[in-house]
């Protein structure tokens, strides 16, 4: 049998949801404050995935203005019914937690998708849709139990019928389950399936950290009562030591293949660097499912996610994840791997003003603000990696800056930037907990391009540069702590991005920064 490598989609791709249409599979993940929102992937074998677009790729669909870090788009679910694709998700509006649930539709999964259909009377997060055999459609989500919470973060899974023609919830909401452990918290991510006369309800509980878990209950009736599985949780790594290479396993969706096999998609993280440091955030993993006594059993041989696992029968050859490593910026559109922070309200970048270059216009907004800075980034996807770019930039005023960033949030990131103070200079800036420290400054002599390089060997980060006529790299600074880019220090739910940026730090300017190419690849120790 062919094998595959976990994670099947590495980097910050959390909360996976999947649907099958004939022989084709489509998968979506969360994006929080990044734009475009909700990447959508296609596969024929459940292992080799290609991104085909974003579900939320227009400002009319996704207004992220002022959204704090790790708010925005949570936990999408994708489903297909009678020629129409549905993606339903939660939009978390502010730091205070206001939440709205909506869905969009399309006849082609690559888009375009409709503008949002907002649902009233739908509290909580992590909505999902279930299309029953009789044509009725049901919404599931989580909420605070109507009788009140018995302990911190105690939530209830609720269900209500949805009229997809009238685009509204109908009937009365019904609470159907609040998890396998009565002291568990954060019951969420509900999905309903029907098999052999039973309705199965799979949820996540225990929170998104080390105690994350997947549990299941079943009923002969959609509204319950639901019987929990005595073998719950059906998947977790919370009983394993903190040195185990895969952690915080949960938030699952399952699918049956055309060959009659069942597979589970879930999120998990790869901690590294001592302790539970997870710079890549939560990634998409795959595990086999079998059915015993009308209950699902995940990874029946070990009960764990493994880095290398035996693949689906659909997989013909051993698969290892392939990642795009080089962008020449020769195309007229950015590759689908690139994102901006929040919704862009102006054209701050161009691939056509200077063909063969990515031109970033300096905006007053900086990476330190909860704004839409002049930034494009792609996800960190390896424990050790290097990123290199070539930049042409002539700052004209104090505080004009452009370069490369290792970015977790506005309060936690590194910047390797060309700037101007008393002259043109190159500097490394560390921002942690909202406080900035300039680690190193070096004067840059002459005009022309400069190459910038960041190398991360696990949690040890080094920054280099070389001017256009130099053969060797100059080390600017080394031994920088990558742990500040981990969720465990920086907080939130996102992973690290490697990006390019340009800012005038509050000033109005016509200055631009031109990036000739960008390379990202795994670094081998």
Catalytic residue numbers read 15, 188
The 10 Å Cβ neighbour count of residue 442 is 13
Residue appearing with tokens 């029968």: 313
The 10 Å Cβ neighbour count of residue 153 is 14
What HEC string does 273-326 produce?
Answer: CCCCCCCCCCEEEEEEEEEECCEEEECCCCCCCCCEEECCCCCCCCCCCCCCCE
Instruction: Specify the DSSP element, H or E, that contains 219.
Output: strand 213-219
What DSSP character marks residue 487? H
Rg (CA), the chain: 23
Distance between CA 159 and CA 137 in Å, rounded? 10
Q: How many residues does the chain have?
A: 525
Asked whether 68 and 92 are in contact (CB, 8 A), the reply is no
Closest by CA to 392, choosing from 353, 442, 448, 444, is: 448
| Contacts with 302 (C-beta within 8 Å, 6 or more apart), sequence order | none
Which backbone phi and psi does 487 adopt, to 5 degrees? -55, -35
Distance between CA 21 and CA 37 in Å, rounded? 22
Lookup: tokens for 206: 């225990």
| Contacts with 90 (C-beta within 8 Å, 6 or more apart), sequence order | 73, 74, 75, 99, 100, 101, 124, 125, 126, 127
């Amino acid at each position: 049998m062919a094998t595959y490598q976990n994670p099947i989609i590495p980097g910050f791709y959390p909360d996976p949801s999947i649907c099958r249409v004939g022989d084709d599979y489509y998968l979506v993940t969360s994006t929080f404050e990044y734009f475009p929102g909700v990447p959508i992937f296609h596969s024929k074998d459940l292992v080799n995935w290609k991104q085909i677009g974003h579900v939320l790729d227009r400002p009319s669909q996704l207004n992220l203005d002022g959204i704090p870090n790790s708010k925005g788009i949570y936990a999408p679910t994708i489903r297909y019914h009678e020629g129409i694709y549905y993606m339903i998700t939660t939009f978390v509006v502010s730091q205070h937690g206001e939440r709205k649930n909506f869905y969009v539709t399309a006849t082609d999964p690559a888009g375009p998708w409709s503008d949002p259909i907002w649902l009233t009377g739908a509290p909580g997060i992590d909505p999902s849709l279930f299309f029953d055999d009789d044509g009725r459609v049901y919404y599931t989500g989580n909420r605070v139990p109507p009788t009140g919470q018995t302990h911190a973060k105690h939530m209830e899974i609720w269900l209500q019928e949805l009229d997809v023609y009238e685009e509204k919830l109908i009937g009365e909401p019904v609470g159907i389950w609040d998890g396998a452990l009565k002291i568990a918290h954060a019951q969420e991510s509900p999905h309903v399936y029907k098999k052999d006369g039973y309705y199965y309800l799979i949820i996540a509980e225990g929170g998104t950290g080390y105690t994350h878990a997947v549990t299941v209950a079943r009923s002969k009736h959609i509204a319950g009562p639901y019987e929990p599985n005595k073998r719950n949780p059906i998947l977790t790594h919370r009983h394993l030591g903190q040195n185990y290479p895969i952690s915080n396993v949960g938030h699952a969706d399952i699918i049956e293949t055309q060959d009659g096999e069942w597979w589970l998609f879930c999120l998990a993280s790869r901690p590294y660097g001592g302790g539970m440091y997870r710079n890549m955030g939560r990634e998409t993993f795959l595990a086999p499912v079998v059915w015993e006594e009308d209950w699902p059993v995940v990874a029946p041989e070990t009960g764990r996610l493994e880095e290398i696992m035996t693949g689906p029968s659909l997989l013909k050859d051993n698969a290892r994840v392939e990642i795009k490593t080089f962008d020449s910026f020769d195309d007229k559109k950015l590759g689908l791997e690139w994102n901006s922070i929040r919704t862009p309200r102006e054209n701050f970048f161009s691939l056509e003003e200077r063909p063969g270059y990515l031109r970033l216009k300096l905006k007053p907004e900086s990476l330190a603000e909860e704004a839409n800075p002049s930034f494009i980034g792609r996800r960190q996807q390896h424990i050790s990696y290097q990123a290199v770019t070539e930049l042409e930039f002539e700052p004209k005023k104090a505080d004009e800056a452009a370069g490369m960033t290792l970015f977790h949030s506005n309060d936690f990131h590194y910047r390797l930037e060309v700037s101007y103070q008393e002259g043109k200079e190159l500097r490394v800036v560390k921002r942690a907990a909202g406080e900035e420290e300039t680690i190193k400054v070096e004067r840059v002599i002459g005009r022309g391009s400069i190459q910038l390089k960041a190398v991360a060997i696990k949690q040890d980060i080094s920054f280099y540069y070389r001017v256009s006529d130099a053969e060797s790299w100059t080390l600017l600074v080394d031994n920088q702590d990558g742990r500040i880019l981990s969720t465990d220090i920086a907080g939130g739910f996102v992973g690290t991005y490697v990006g390019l940026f340009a800012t005038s730090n509050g000033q109005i300017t016509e200055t631009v920064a031109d990036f000739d190419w960008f390379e990202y690849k795994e670094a081998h120790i």
